[in-house]
Amino acid sequence: MSRRALTLLVASFLVLSLGIVGALMKVPYVVLSPGPTENTLGLVEKKPVITITGRQTYPTNGALSLVTVAYQGGPSSRIDLLTALRGWVDPDVAVVPEETIFPDTRSQKEVEEENTVEMTNSQDFATAAALTELKIPYRTAVSVVSTDAGRPAHGKLLKGDEVTAVDGRPADDVESIAAAVKAVRPGTSLTFTVTRGKEQLKVAVPTVAGADGKSVVGMAMQASYKFPFEVDINVGDVGGPSAGLIFSLGILDKLTPGELTGGKKIAGTGTIDPSGAVGPIGGIAQKMVGARQAGATVFLTPADNCAEAVKSAPKGLRLVKAETLHDTVVALDALRTGKGGVPSCSG
């Protein structure tokens, strides 16, 4: 065998060996890529994404699309080295350390469950923000989630009790109830007015000193919203809070005459709170790629993500800065009518 043939044989063997090793070697990285987009004005699995019952709705047009990030990898299904290498050379995806998505303190299942809870909360926040923008009143309810064994509330306040007042003062949110408890000296008894089933009860609960020396009763609470009509959001297998802004806009569009989009294909992202404030999200680069691939020409971008978004925005995608729901509605009106300025991520 000639030296050249031997060299080729050895090189081929080394390449094959490296390929086998790369295919078998698992690495603690996660590949992030553009995920599916869903038009909140359209259908998912033949069902409307947003269904409103008990209130007049109006026809819509165009698209207000939520965007997602798909991932490969995780502690229970690690990717191989070759998959990671392909990701590193693909400009449309990102390869990040596993702990970025799945912290050591939580399992993959716990992270996925948390994403599901965040998606549910984002839908409530989106509805609340839309109704706040439209000046439609709604009520906040605070319910007992659990009580701590050995603490005064245990056995007195029950899971599901709706707390409506503390010592006669209306309980509007979790923070006001917690503040009312901390405001008294440890040992003071407080009267909680609760709705339990169809009954309204007054329950006396003594306080004790917590770890910081301030009063506690030993209960966990959760806020929920009582809306004057039903808003149902169907997005299939999507988690996380980042679709809040788009949900709010979709609800607004259905509840108001005219077309918020002006017939354009608009996509966007951003968390939202009940006041309408828009917050930042992760995976902005992959979400913009997914939006453009779906035909969007306008991308609503949280203000805190603008600097990053400008660096990697796909050609043909106009970035509109979103700070609040109200400002975003004004910007969409300006885009549709051509009147007024449109806030841009580029200044």
Q: What single-letter DSSP state applies at residue 280?
A: -
CB atoms closer than 10 angstroms to residue 141: 16
Query: Would you list the DSSP string of 76-87?
Result: TSPEEHHHHHHH
Residue at 228: amino acid letter: P
Q: Are 36 and 290 in contact (CB under 8 A)?
A: yes
Distance from C-alpha of 209 to C-alpha of 152, rounded to nearest angstrom: 11
Is 272 in contact with 278 (CB distance < 8 Å)?
A: yes
By 3-state DSSP, what share of the chain in percent is helix, strand and coil, each rounded to 5? 35, 30, 35
Q: At what angle do helices 108-133 and 325-337 cross, to 10 degrees?
A: 70
Residues for the chain: how many in total? 347
**Residue 186 contacts residue 151 (beta carbons within 8 Å):** no
Q: In sequence order, what DSSP letters do the residues of 320-344 get, joined into one string?
A: EEESBHHHHHHHHHHHHHS-S---B
Q: Is 183 helix (H, G, I), strand (E, B) or coil?
A: coil
Among 310, 128, 305, CA closest to 225: 128
CA distance linking residue 233 with residue 66, whole number of Å = 12
- CA distance linking residue 214 with residue 207, whole number of Å: 9
Active site residue ranges:
242, 287
- Could you tell me if residue 222 is left (phi over 0), alpha (psi between -120 and 50 degrees) or otherwise beta? beta
Q: In what order do the strands lie in the sheet with 63-72?
A: 94-97, 29-39, 63-72, 265-268, 298-302, 318-322
